[in-house]
Structure 1
């Protein structure tokens, strides 16, 4: 490694991860790209985590101990402030980084100075193994979809330090979960965010319940969703009702309903978002319509008994402006909507505290 500042700083908060920690550390130290420092912040572990970390003699490892358990946002922010690399590489303490991850992402960022945050595709391991998460690649689509969900798999991301400092971006310590999504929402208003369409991380994933009731989804347990939603709606100059907030969360979390009331409410809300953005101009409007149509397609396909019925309902959108589009535009919207897929939101927000 160079005697000057390293090109990158890999930052990993740790809290009681003795079961998986060695495998994760090995995956970082065995990268083909070697010019990096590995900053590990232990957040008050009571297991063997610190002992495992101290057993390594690699000079790239820099271990710091928090005085008390302070949460992942505090730990990541502390790691950023202690780091000296041009790039911040996010590491979770139970995942596996493929050997070419750092080299691939740093080469991409070097050749794309307009990009501030870049993730990758991932494969899942653990309780739910073998899933391939194909994250959105087009920066405009990523930007638009941050209104609903995280879009990037956080432990696969690399962040340009210059932009963190230039736009005063850090993780929100007041949010206990989904801090990454909040960072993407704020960052995407200043620079491009994207994903490399290549698996670079094996992401440990476990089972979570689905089909939440309205009461469950509106409970204090999921307050962080609504805190981030409120910030996004402020940018659009929107003050949604409680029911509209709930509809938005069901769309973002893929917690859909089959009843026609929900179908109609969803279409009306998507149209309201489209109209608000016409005035506020937060998101590129043509891409925004494409993304909103993608969510509308998910509602139609979930509520329909057949693909033909879903297509019919999609084109007969009562509020969102699809019916008035030309035949070619309709076909393009449908085609792009068919490949729209949500992987994160609820999954990403619930994974770790």
Structure 2
């Protein structure tokens, strides 16, 4: 690897991203270390996003692939298996990179490899910017073996900050296409089983979060989260203690309970809480009782509306 110049392919899944894809591609042209190829996978868009990609003038090859809507896992896999570069860098169609993103990640990879580390994935810090003006920093720093951490939570700061050796992705057959949510955490966990994961400790990409974002549509993606829980426990449940399994299930459900609560979708809050309670009585005290408080509030609002 050190004797050959590594190459990078950026993989961008696109679904109705006409408002942002131009800025996303612009951020690639501003890289101090430009990508060798960009593959955009149109996942059944009905807007002008694909045409914007066709018309974009770039200093690197841009390949547009198109498919019927199958979700981001399928779209990213199309990019992975149509690429031939050393590295795959993922970028969502509503996110942008800092100009030094690729340069700094490749420099860290070369340094670590020279020191004998078997690195599978490198990420960076992420700044999420919400359409209502809120900002949220994701700054979990990794520096080696992190498989155990993924048993508790997804410690990757954001998919758009990930740089992975393509041979690693091919060895694991890419993302699980049966999932349309949390498919990234499952793949990152599988990578962490066998390879090291490291972080460039700087904010090197911006994540845009709007009403069309997956995480802003909890009712659509909650069934996929339940499917993720099932798949994850089938693969890793035996490595966890009973208490760890309970915590894993409750934490994943609580993520959606909180999302429904923020949106005032009280019937869904009640449904998720009862799912959690059916799994364990510890739901009552989980996360300092926050799910229980949200449930009580949702029940009260529902009764008030009924009366």
Measure how far apart 1:53 and its partner are. 0.7
What SS is found at the alignment partner of 1:32? coil
Question: 1:15 maps to what in 2?
Answer: 15
- Write the distance in 2 (CA, Å) between the matches of 1:72 and 1:191: 24
Greater helix fraction, Structure 1 or Structure 2: 2
Question: 1:338 maps to what in 2?
Answer: none
What SS is found at the alignment partner of 1:196? strand
Q: Is 1:198 the counterpart of 2:202 in the alignment?
A: yes
Mean Cα displacement is larger for which, 200-209 or 80-89? 200-209
Q: Is 1:157 the counterpart of 2:177 in the alignment?
A: no
Q: Deviations over 1:65-98 (max 9, x none)?
A: 3242222111111111111211111110001111
Contact 2:181 2:225 in 1 (8 A): no
Q: Is 1:112 the counterpart of 2:117 in the alignment?
A: no
Q: Which residues in structure 2 correspond to 1:73-88 (within 5 Å)? A: 73-88=73-88
Q: Which residues in structure 2 correspond to 1:19-58 (within 5 Å)? A: 19-58=19-58
Among 181, 184, 189, the residue aligned to 1:185: 189
CA, structure 1 residues 263+46, in 2 after alignment: closer, same or farther (shift >3 Å)? closer
Measure how far apart 1:23 and its partner are. 0.8
Contact 1:169 1:183 in 2 (8 A): no
Q: Is 1:175 the counterpart of 2:179 in the alignment?
A: yes
Measure how far apart 1:301 and its partner are. 10
- Write the distance in 2 (CA, Å) between the matches of 1:186 and 1:47: 35
Q: Deviations over 1:108-132 (max 9, x none)?
A: 1122232101111111113253222
Contact 2:29 2:59 in 1 (8 A): no
What SS is found at the alignment partner of 1:66? strand
- Write the distance in 1 (CA, Å) between the matches of 2:250 and 2:141: 20
What SS is found at the alignment partner of 1:181? helix
- Write the distance in 1 (CA, Å) between the matches of 2:55 and 2:5: 25
Contact 1:6 1:37 in 2 (8 A): no
- Write the distance in 1 (CA, Å) between the matches of 2:143 and 2:289: 24
- Write the distance in 2 (CA, Å) between the matches of 1:6 and 1:263: 48
Question: 2:150 maps to what in 1?
Answer: 146
TM-score, length-scaled by structure 2: 0.72
Question: 2:276 maps to what in 1?
Answer: none
Contact 1:226 1:245 in 2 (8 A): no
- Write the distance in 1 (CA, Å) between the matches of 2:226 and 2:124: 28
What SS is found at the alignment partner of 1:23? helix
TM-score, length-scaled by structure 1: 0.63
What SS is found at the alignment partner of 1:251? helix
- Write the distance in 2 (CA, Å) between the matches of 1:148 and 1:228: 15
Measure how far apart 1:59 and its partner are. 5.2
Question: 1:262 maps to what in 2?
Answer: 282
- Write the distance in 2 (CA, Å) between the matches of 1:15 and 1:204: 14
Mean Cα displacement is larger for which, 57-66 or 186-195? 57-66
Greater strand fraction, Structure 1 or Structure 2: 2
CA, structure 1 residues 160+235, in 2 after alignment: closer, same or farther (shift >3 Å)? farther
What SS is found at the alignment partner of 1:69? coil
Contact 2:124 2:204 in 1 (8 A): yes
Question: 1:331 maps to what in 2?
Answer: none
Contact 1:125 1:202 in 2 (8 A): yes
- Write the distance in 1 (CA, Å) between the matches of 2:52 and 2:236: 44
Q: Is 1:131 the counterpart of 2:155 in the alignment?
A: no
Among 216, 223, 226, the residue aligned to 1:220: 223
State the Cα RMSD in Å. 3.5
Q: Unpaired runs of 5+ in structure 1?
A: 267-298, 304-353
Contact 1:117 1:158 in 2 (8 A): yes
- Write the distance in 1 (CA, Å) between the matches of 2:71 and 2:87: 22
